[in-house]
Structure 1
Amino acid sequence: MIKVIAVTGYKAHELGIFSNKHEAVPYIKGVMKNRLTQLIEEGLEWVVISGQPGVELWTGDAVLELKEHYPVIRLAVLLPFEDQESRWKEPTQEYFHQIINQADFVETVSKRPYENPGQFQACNRFIIEKTDAMLVFYDPEQSGSPEYYLNTAHKYQEYGNEYPILSISFLDVNDYIEELKSNETDWAT
């Protein structure tokens, strides 16, 4: 049973999304909410993100929305280093603070500001070691930052650790959109 899951995926800019008002964001959040709802109904208690802009923050937002119907679910944000958001644009910083201020647990893995990419790697390893599985929004046909996290998870598996990696792809998002359109058509007729 998966009680604690790490969630990651593309950063917003990797998807060509530069605002949370972009039309794709509600669909990505919707797919995440659907998958997390299934997991919650199977016993999921904690969702862990590192607070990266894009899929991780949208997932954090989705978890906060899910709390209304599933008060058992908790959100943990384990940041790779202090002041992670300091170089982001103001709207992204505001969204980040909105999410972490409502999270159930927030901690920084490295107690220093950014020094090198090793801090991201250390955070990824730490989160993988503290969770039961990973949910990743990633498509092997479109490379991006989730590859680093996935490589760490695969190495963890190679050492004999059972660590399921669940995925969401662009096809899943398209299926979700089609399902919504189908439901709208059903109501209109």
Structure 2
Amino acid sequence: MKKRLWLTGYRSFELGTFGDEDPKIQVIKRALKDTFIDELENNQLEWLITSGQMGVEQWACQVALELTKEFPELKTAIMLPFSDFGANWNDDHKQQLISLRTSVTFSEALTKESYKSPIQLRNFQQFMLKHTDEALLVYDPENPGKTDFDYKAVKEYQQKHPGYLLKLIDFDALTDVANDMEEENRSW
């Protein structure tokens, strides 16, 4: 069965990344690419859905868009939690979100209202849980960040919906990917 995957993870500032060529970003993108390819080759992934948050979510969209050349069946959606999501970002970050939103298969705000309260974020989580089959988080529970709210929401949802899957790409997995990349570079 093809699935709709909710993807989220650390924000760029939580990881201390600087610029698109930051080695940490390259490792995360490689981990995401490997995961997506595995799912696509096994005919299990149809939709990748994020909120377009800076960091892991945008990097995942970039990876997915690159993969559509090889896997044109992959669809990508950015679902904004509210209409003015990203309005307080600097101009470069706003432009990056706009660019991604115009590149993905589908993008829409969950509500036409601007941000009013954290209830909108909880509503967004519930929407994502109800409209996806699985969550993939680039997240390590030993190193909490903003993604902890989503991690806990998924764990709670799983209690009533045991078929809902949660996969983590944690720091150990990222270390393995970094080591693989280093080994590949040495073999050149």
Q: What is the TM-score of this pair, normalised by structure 2? A: 0.94
In 2, are the aligned partners of 1:11 and 1:54 still within 8 Å (CA)? yes
SS in 2 for 1:173: helix
The 5 A counterparts of 1:72-111 are 72-111=73-112
Q: Is contact 1:2-1:133 (8 Å) kept? A: no
Mapping of residues 1-189 of structure 1, within 5 Å: 1-43=1-43, 44-187=45-188
Deviation sequence 1:155-185 (CA, Å, 0-9, x none): 2111134111011011212211211111222
Kindly indicate whether the alpha-carbon contact (under 8 Å) linking 1:2 and 1:132 is maintained by their aligned counterparts in 2: no
Unaligned runs of 5+ in 2: none
Q: 1:53 and 1:91 mapped to 2: Cα distance?
A: 11
1:68-106 CA-partner distances (Å, limit 9, x unpaired): 111110001111001211101122112111211101011
Q: How many residues align?
A: 187
Q: Which runs of 4+ in 1 moved over 4 A?
A: none
Unaligned runs of 5+ residues in structure 1 are none
CA RMSD of aligned residues (A): 1.3
Cα distance between partner residues in 1 of 2:24 and 2:164: 30
* Distance in 2 (alpha carbons) for counterparts of 1:68 and 1:164: 27
- For residue 18 of structure 1, report the CA deviation from its aligned partner: 4.5
